[in-house]
Structure 1
């Protein structure tokens, strides 16, 4: 992984229970960094990753039309489906295995709503099919420069994930230009996802000055930190190459895990 004498990477473990939390009637949101009225000057970002929100949205409800600018916004749905509409005349449904990127640039308006709805007076089994919360991870990355033309992109990646290994989901890096991935306007950053289940071989983290490892579901073992559970994150500074594996002794019914990895070769001050 690292040659003898190399500087030991710093592993900053952030536990799920320690995240900022916003809870209202239709939203349960956990924030990895300062967000909204939650502000901690020592916890505003890691590298160029400014937001890592873990949102659960109630059926039929969601985020009304609101503005963004000068941010690359990547949405990754874990359960349910999310309706997107924006001022660029884009509309569609985002679901697990479909990656979405919105470049806010000079300014864009959009809304995001849970695609499920509540049904009264129908058999309970059918109603449950349309009464599912949607869970999504939304991540914001600063672009290379402000004032870009707003843009939108989505891409099916489920087949690549089913083949196993770490899959590049979003990237602005030249080294991943041949990968099927949504494109973000930051040439120093890429997002990867790996799914791990019982018997799955370990995956190796990219070697980069800055990494953000987030356990989106399940539990895993990360070399250098030990067990991580759903909602835990590790901010790595000074090099990657660590192995991430399913739990060492999972039960026979152990669920699969999904891990989101941001690889970053720059901070807010520029390339590292």
Structure 2
């Protein structure tokens, strides 16, 4: 029988550092909720807004797959592998921290906030060689679920060290879409970026999240124009 958990937008943790406003779906930094540690391999889902010209100074990560998805504005990235890039809406960035990496993330615009999702997944193998990946994703074609992340380097989107698949779609009001789970034992975490949607009979609104597992497919109905992110992840973490 299908199982699910709902995380309404207003119930998320929140940090306000002045220059940074961050909503945490799962326990992170100063926000701790023992009932919200992770959803399978999905460990962090932060909804961040960074003021113009501000950002995160040089800091380390290891043994985590880190994904950034800009929603508006521009995010500047620099890391200890000598990668330097600006990430914009319509792009996705993935970083395998592996044995260890340092990086900085700053708003590339001094006068406009940048909004982005920062997502961490546990990897399926430890101490890999750190790597960086950034690609453009299709955000213009409506009523299609576009794959933007997978475990396979030759598939669409970025790839990571985990049996996970991310899809995003902009659905117009009153349209429907079906999503089939990619791997037995995986669940899907649905995050509503904008709009109102019904997923397997459950109504969700902007910035709501819903984790669903022990199912084969999702039925998604757009109750308004909506943008959704689907994160198909293993429910059991073996590393």
| TM-score when normalising by structure 2 | 0.93
- Comparing 258-267 with 90-99, which one deviates more in the overlay? 258-267
Number of the residue aligned with 2:201? 224
Contact 1:50 1:140 in 2 (8 A): yes
Number of the residue aligned with 1:29? 22
Matching of residue 95 in structure 1 with residue 88 in structure 2: yes
> Offset of 1:266 from its aligned partner?
4.1
> Offset of 1:17 from its aligned partner?
0.2
**Counterpart-to-counterpart distance in 2, 1:37 and 1:19:** 12
| TM-score when normalising by structure 1 | 0.82
* Runs of 5+ consecutive residues of structure 1 not aligned to the other structure: 1-6, 118-130, 251-255
1:1-272 equivalences under 5 Å are 7=1, 9-117=2-110, 131-158=111-138, 161-162=140-141, 164-172=143-151, 179-186=155-162, 188-198=163-173, 201-207=175-181, 209-226=186-203, 228-247=204-223, 250=224, 256-269=225-238
**Counterpart-to-counterpart distance in 2, 1:71 and 1:263:** 17
Closer/same/farther in 2, CA of residues 196 and 190 from structure 1, 3 Å limit? same
> Offset of 1:113 from its aligned partner?
0.7
Q: Secondary structure at the match of 2:232?
A: strand
> Offset of 1:240 from its aligned partner?
4.1
> Offset of 1:172 from its aligned partner?
0.8
**Counterpart-to-counterpart distance in 1, 2:189 and 2:40:** 9
Q: Secondary structure at the match of 1:17?
A: helix
* Runs of 5+ consecutive residues of structure 2 not aligned to the other structure: none
**Counterpart-to-counterpart distance in 2, 1:82 and 1:50:** 22
> Offset of 1:221 from its aligned partner?
1.9
> Offset of 1:198 from its aligned partner?
2.9
Closer/same/farther in 2, CA of residues 40 and 27 from structure 1, 3 Å limit? same
**Counterpart-to-counterpart distance in 2, 1:96 and 1:221:** 25
- Comparing 43-52 with 258-267, which one deviates more in the overlay? 258-267
* Structure with the largest fraction of strand: 2
**Counterpart-to-counterpart distance in 1, 2:105 and 2:188:** 28
Contact 1:46 1:267 in 2 (8 A): no
> Offset of 1:86 from its aligned partner?
0.5
**Counterpart-to-counterpart distance in 2, 1:245 and 1:59:** 36
**Counterpart-to-counterpart distance in 1, 2:88 and 2:117:** 12
- Comparing 150-159 with 59-68, which one deviates more in the overlay? 150-159
**Counterpart-to-counterpart distance in 1, 2:33 and 2:95:** 26
Q: Computing the radius of gyration over CA atoms, which structure comes out larger, 1 or 2?
A: 1
**Counterpart-to-counterpart distance in 1, 2:79 and 2:48:** 19
